[in-house]
Amino acid sequence: MTTVGILGGGQLARMLALSGAPLGLRFLVMDSAADACAGQFAPMVVGDYRDTAALAEFASRIDVATFDFENVPSESAQWLSERVPVFPSPRALATAQDRLAEKTLFVELGIPVPPFAAIASREDLDAALARIGTPAILKTRRLGYDGKGQFRIRSSEDAGAAWTALGAQATTVGLILEGFVAFQRELSVVAMRGRDGEFRAWPLTENWHVDGVLSASLAPAMADAALVETAHGHARKLADALDYVGVFALELFCRDGVLLANELAPRVHNSGHWTIEGAETSQFENHLRAVLGLPLGATRVLGHACMLNWIGSMPDANAVLREAGGHWHDYGKDPRKGRKVGHATLRADSPDQLAEALRRVGEALGRGEQVAPVIERLRG
C-alpha cells in the first residue's frame, strides 16, 4: 500500500486524495490548521512546516511527498527530500516561489514576459517606473497569491502609495515591478511531466479573474492551433529546464496574438479543475500518476467545459445538479469572504449547448455577470 504525503491540506489536497482512492492509494496530509478541508478525507499531521518533529513524523509515515501549497518553506522541502522522494523537486519549487527567479528563467528560455525589474528601494522603484512606464504593478516576489501582495500603479504619482503599501516587504519577501499588460485574454496551460521526462498537456484554458481571483475557466479555449502549440512549447521547455515532475500550470496573457508568461504554479491548478469531468484523465489523477512513476493518462477533452468558482459562500446546488452536464464540488469549508469554497463544472457536447447551460445557471443563481464573458466567448 503506497501512502502519498501532501504538504498543505486545502481543496487541492482534498481533490488529490479523492482522485487517488480508485488507484488504491493512501494519503497523509500535513497542515498547520487542524480543520484543513482535506482532513475530511485523509489522516493529518497537524503542524507548522518549519517544525522538524512534525515533519519527521510526516516523513516516517509516507512513501512519497508532494504539495497542495507552493509556499512551503524551501528549507522544509529540502529537509523532507533528504528522507523521502519529493515531487516536484525543492529546486523547481524554489524557482516557482520567486517571481523574479521564475521571470528570469522565462527570459533565459526565450519565453516572452512583460517588462520587469527587481525592486530593493524607493529609488529602484522610481528608476524602474521611468524605464517601464505606467500602468505597472508592484508585487511581492514571494508569498503572493490570488492578487494578494500587489499594488497597481496607474501613474507615477501612485509610486509613494505603492511604496507605503509594500515597501516594508522589499527586505523580507522582496519586490518586483511589472509592466501592466493590456491583454485581451488570460490563458493557462495545465501540463505534466513524468519521472521519465514524458510531457503531456491539456488543451489551453481561458480564464477570467475578478479582483485577482479566478472566477471562470473555459476549456478548450477558443484558440488556433498555432497559439496552442506555442503555449505547449513554452510549458515543455520550462518543465524540461526544471526537471519538473508532476502537474503544473503556466499562466499566460494574450495580447494581439502574442503570449506573455505571467507565472508558473508548481502544483495542480484551479484552472485545471474542469479536467475532473471534462477530460479523459483529470489533473489530480495525472499528478499522482506522475509523482508515482505510473504511465500518464490521456489528456483528451470530452466536449466543452466551463468551471465556475464559488468564492465566499456556496450558492444553491440545484441549478447546477439539474443540468445534464452539471457537476458540483463543495470543499466542505466554512464560508468566509474571499475564500474559495467550491466550484461547479458544466460540460456539454457543443459550444452552443454549453452557452445555454451557463445562461440557465447564471440566471437561476443570479450570477449573470460571472457567466457573461464565457457565454460571449462561446457565441464568438
Q: What is the spatial order of strands in the sheet that 64-67 belongs to?
A: 44-46, 26-31, 3-7, 64-67
Smallest gap, in angstroms, from Cβ of residue 45 to ligand AMP?
29
Class of residue 118 by CB neighbours under 10 A (exposed 0-12, middle 13-18, buried 19+):
middle
Coil, strand, or helix at residue 250?
Answer: strand
Residue from 263, 277, 285, 323 in contact with ligand AMP (CB under 6 A): 263
Of 31 and 251, which CB lies nearer to ligand AMP in the complex structure?
A: 251
Candidates 175-183, 191-199, 310-318, 344-352 — which segment interacts with ligand AMP by CB under 6 A?
175-183
Task: Confirm or reject binding of residue 137 to ligand AMP (CB under 6 A).
Answer: yes
Radius of gyration of the chain (CA): 20
Asked whether the CA dihedral 91, 96, 97, 98 is positive or negative, the reply is positive
Task: Confirm or reject binding of residue 180 to ligand AMP (CB under 6 A).
Answer: yes
**What is the SS3 string spanning 146-202?**
CCCCEEEECCHHHHHHHHHHHHHHHHCCCEEEEECCCCCEEEEEEEEECCCCCEEEC
Smallest gap, in angstroms, from Cβ of residue 218 to ligand AMP?
15
Candidates 55-63, 174-182, 333-341, 355-363 — which segment interacts with ligand AMP by CB under 6 A?
174-182
Task: Confirm or reject binding of residue 115 to ligand AMP (CB under 6 A).
Answer: no
Smallest gap, in angstroms, from Cβ of residue 141 to ligand AMP?
11
Most distant pair of Cα atoms in the chain: their distance: 60
Task: Confirm or reject binding of residue 209 to ligand AMP (CB under 6 A).
Answer: yes
Residue from 31, 70, 102, 178 in contact with ligand AMP (CB under 6 A): 178
In this structure, are residues 180 and 135 in contact, taking their beta carbons and an 8 Å threshold?
yes
Nearest-angstrom CA–CA distance, 134 and 128: 10
The separation between CA 165 and the C-alpha centre of its own chain, rounded to angstroms, equals 25
- Which residue number places its CB atom closest to ligand AMP? 181
Per-residue binding string, ligand AMP, 269-308, x by CB under 6 A, is ----------------------------------------
Candidates 29-37, 166-174, 179-187, 359-367 — which segment interacts with ligand AMP by CB under 6 A?
179-187
In this structure, are residues 101 and 241 in contact, taking their beta carbons and an 8 Å threshold?
no
Task: Confirm or reject binding of residue 262 to ligand AMP (CB under 6 A).
Answer: yes
Of 219 and 314, which CB lies nearer to ligand AMP in the complex structure?
A: 219
Class of residue 140 by CB neighbours under 10 A (exposed 0-12, middle 13-18, buried 19+):
buried
Residue from 68, 70, 98, 186 in contact with ligand AMP (CB under 6 A): 186
Task: Confirm or reject binding of residue 251 to ligand AMP (CB under 6 A).
Answer: yes
Candidates 12-20, 177-185, 233-241, 266-274 — which segment interacts with ligand AMP by CB under 6 A?
177-185
* Interface positions with ligand AMP (CB under 6 A): 114, 137, 144, 147, 178, 180-181, 186, 209, 212, 251, 262-263
